[in-house]
Structure formats: C-alpha cells, structure tokens
Amino acid sequence: MKKRVVIVGGGIGGLSTAYNLRKITQELEITLISDRPYFGFTPSYPHLAMGWRKVEEITVPLGSLLPKFGIDFVNERAERIDPDGCKVFTESGREIGYDYLVIATGPRLVFEGEGVKENSVSICTVEHATEARKRFEEFCKDPGPVVVGALPGVSCFGPAYEYVLMIHRELVKRGIRRKVPITYITSEPYLGHLGLGGIGNSRRLMEDLFAEKDIRYITNVKVVGVERDKVVYEDLEGRAHEVPSRFTMIMPRFAGPDVVASAGEKVANPKNHMVIVNRCMQNPTYGNIYGVGVVVFLPPVEKTPVPTGTPKTGQMIEGMAKAVALNIVADIKGSRERYAPTLSAMCIADSGDEGVGFIANPVVPPREWVKSKRGKVVRWAKTAFEKYFLWKIKVPGEGPPHQSG
C-alpha cells in the first residue's frame, strides 16, 4: 500500500515539498491541507500593498492546480495534530491519517503592543496588503509623517526595508515626498543587521541608501505601541519616546499557529510554538514529522540587546522542502541517508527604481562567503524570481519546479 504524506500549509514551503515529493516518486499519496484556497507569492506582498501588483498576478488557485499533479487538496483549516495517533483533524471534524506529516503552515502573526494591530497596517497576508494599499491611498490625499518598523523579536526585516524604500519611491513619483518625513524604527541593533548580524557590508550599504533617500532611522529600540498619530517606543533603559506618524507599518513577530501547539511540547517549542527540528528538518521525538519554512524554530544568529530572530527566506525554504522530500523518500526506501539543507539566506529588497540584495552562505556564521549588491540588476533579479516561480507552479507541461538550492 502507498504511504501517505500529509502537508499542512500551501505556501512556498508546503507547495515546494509536495512538488519535490511528486517529482521524485509517484509511489506516494500526497494530501495538502490549507485554509486559503490559493497559493500566494509572499515576497511580492509589499508590491501588492503599494499597488505595484494585482492580487491575481501573484496568487494561483490551488483547487484547480494541485490535482493536475496528483496532489489531494483539502481546503480547510487544520485544527489539531495527534502525533501519537498520526492524524490531523480539520475544522469540519474530518480526520486525516498520515504516515509522514510535513508542517509548513507559515507563521501566526503576533502584533504585540498597544494599538499596534489597530493603528498600523501589515503586509504579511494578501488581505493585510490589500487593506494597506487602501489606507495608503487615503494617506496620500493628506500626507504627514510615515513610520515603518519592526517589533522586538521580529525575524523577518526584509519586507520592512523593502516597504519603506517603496514608500519613498512612490511619494517621489506622486510629487509629495517633501511633505512626508519617513522614519524606520527597529529592534535591530544597527541598520542592515537583518536579524543576521549583518551580511558583509550591509550596514554601510543601508546607511548610505537611507541617507541618500532621507529616511531617518532609530535602531536598538522596542516599539511598544502605535497610536493614530504616533509610534511609541522604549530605549534600552526603558525610557519611553515617541515619533509622529500618520501612516505606520510595523512588522509583527512570528510564532507557530495553534495547530502546531496542539501537537504538544515535543513538537511545538513551548516558548513560541514553532516546530522543533534537527538539522535534517525532522522532529527529534516523532521521526515521521518534519517542519518546513517560517514555522520552523531556528535559534537567533546572535544575541542582540533587543531580541531579534533569524529570517527564513524564499530560497532557504525551498532548500528545506527539497531536503524533507529526499528524507521522506529515503525513509520509505529504508535507506539511512539523510539530507541537511544548507541554510543560506538571500534577501532582496526592490525599491522601485533599483534593488539591494544580500546573500549569506550559510546563514549561521562562520560564513563561507557573503555577497551584497545594489542596482537595477538586483531589482530585475527579484522580479525574475517571482515570474519564474509562479510560471513553474502553474505550467503543468513543464512539471513541478526543480530546486537547485
């Protein structure tokens, strides 16, 4: 009888795992559970928030797509995992048994701080980005100060950098830049830290970029609240300060969603409910449970005065997905070979007229090499990645995407 792999989550991690499995073997049943009926290309959500992309350009309906590759799609919220019974329960009460479980849900967004959720926009989901776009249009009719930033504990700073650069560019295009003081506020100890202790000369590069574009920055602080006309933050001594803002975007902290927590403390890290895995992305207690993507727990690259986390980028997640697929197939075949992905981080921010990109290889120091680049070609690289990825998952004739990472 064919083994069944159940994948919870339909983002880059879940989809890449499913496609990789199917590419390696037809001798498997694959079920993908997701409450969202579509795949969304997360790295382009800032573009959506800016009105530079439409929803249909960066999403793909899963219901018509997955069956083409022989992947069952269950469009429901997964509610509970029973790791001992090897079952997943969905919101409708459906019970789905598995031989192997891949948790790739993506994060639960934690908007800590008073008024943060209410008074700042977010660019972390299609719905949030769509709402952000609407609010930005209103803001432009009567502009004032803008603040973009990141809460303590944030692991994903790239979108904040990208969004603040985009806002600058958009305001210049609209001829109202000079009415808008822009501030970037962050838990990073310095500009360009990125939760990574910096990548090569990322600090200098970002400082130059921000100076050139007249974006002020406040680093090494905790944002503790957002009001309608200001952002409140604390310095390391606990003193409160504020910076005026009429349009605010603050990146939330990422945690594991409830369905991960439901699997118990051996699967979900008690502090943040993220999936506990070893170097091969396998849970140490339940060998048939794997984690892929943002929901996986990685320790911080370094301790920072205000906590920060390690980012998980698109191509890093592809690497995880490929390793998990190989490890599941190896296990089924009785082979003892296991694959540990090289977790390298590639961050690219598209600022509208140019781009700035960094690669850290591997993500956790000591690093073998790092690269940083700024210019139009970096912007094209980001756009090319988006188009290529979306084309690969949509065109059945070409087969599912193959990862090299």
Between 242 and 398, CB nearer to a second copy: 242
| Candidates 8-16, 65-73, 171-179, 388-396; binding stretch for a second copy (CB under 8 A) | 171-179
CA distances for 295 relative to 6, 45, 84, 261, 317, angstroms? 16, 18, 21, 11, 10
124 lies in the binding site for a second copy (CB under 8 A): no
Q: Is 15 helix (H, G, I), strand (E, B) or coil?
A: helix
Between 68 and 179, CB nearer to a second copy: 179
DSSP 353: S
Site string for a second copy, 128-167 (x = CB under 8 A): ----------------------------------------
Within positions 354 to 373, which residues make up the interface with a second copy, using CB under 8 A? 362, 365-370
> Nearest approach, Cβ of 143 to a second copy (angstroms)?
10
Catalytic residue among 124, 140, 280, 347: 347
Helix (H) or strand (E) holding 60, with range, is: strand 59-61
Tracing tokens 């090499």 back to the chain, one arrives at 369
Residue from 200, 244, 264, 307 that binds a second copy (CB under 8 A)?
A: 200
CA distances for 342 relative to 92, 194, 320, angstroms? 38, 19, 8
C-beta of residue 352 within 8 angstroms of C-beta of residue 169 = yes
How many residues bind a second copy (CB under 8 A)? The answer is 25
174 lies in the binding site for a second copy (CB under 8 A): no
201 lies in the binding site for a second copy (CB under 8 A): yes
279 lies in the binding site for a second copy (CB under 8 A): no
172 lies in the binding site for a second copy (CB under 8 A): yes
DSSP 374: E
Dist CA 11 CA 126 (whole Å): 12
CA-nearest of 260, 263, 272, 227 to 246 is 227
> Nearest approach, Cβ of 353 to a second copy (angstroms)?
11
Dist CA 16 CA 9 (whole Å): 11
Cis previous bond, 341, omega within 30 = no
Between 56 and 212, CB nearer to a second copy: 212
Between 114 and 353, CB nearer to a second copy: 353
347 is catalytic: yes
Helix (H) or strand (E) holding 43, with range, is: none
Residues with Cβ within 8 Å of residue 249, at least 6 apart in sequence: 49, 120, 121, 122, 123, 132, 147, 148, 149, 160, 163
Q: Where are the beta strands (DSSP E) in 256-386?
A: 289-291, 345-350, 355-361, 369-375
Site string for a second copy, 317-356 (x = CB under 8 A): ----------------------------------------
396 lies in the binding site for a second copy (CB under 8 A): no
> Nearest approach, Cβ of 53 to a second copy (angstroms)?
25
Between 80 and 367, CB nearer to a second copy: 367
280 is catalytic: no
Token pair, residue 123, equals 């660019």
> Nearest approach, Cβ of 73 to a second copy (angstroms)?
39
| Candidates 119-127, 197-205, 230-238, 276-284; binding stretch for a second copy (CB under 8 A) | 197-205
Q: Where are the beta strands (DSSP E) in 207-255?
A: 215-218, 222-227, 230-234, 240-244, 247-251, 253-255
204 lies in the binding site for a second copy (CB under 8 A): yes
> Nearest approach, Cβ of 160 to a second copy (angstroms)?
19
212 lies in the binding site for a second copy (CB under 8 A): yes
C-beta of residue 21 within 8 angstroms of C-beta of residue 4 = no
> Nearest approach, Cβ of 230 to a second copy (angstroms)?
17
Residue from 84, 95, 127, 214 that binds a second copy (CB under 8 A)?
A: 214
Helix (H) or strand (E) holding 62, with range, is: helix 62-65
Specify the amino acid at residue 52: W
CA distances for 65 relative to 16, 183, 299, 354, 372, angstroms? 13, 42, 35, 33, 36
| Candidates 10-18, 201-209, 222-230, 253-261; binding stretch for a second copy (CB under 8 A) | 201-209
Within positions 176 to 195, which residues make up the interface with a second copy, using CB under 8 A? 177-182
Between 146 and 160, CB nearer to a second copy: 146
**Active-site annotation, residues:** 156, 347
Interface residues toward a second copy, by CB under 8 A: 172, 177-182, 198, 200-204, 208, 211-214, 362, 365-370
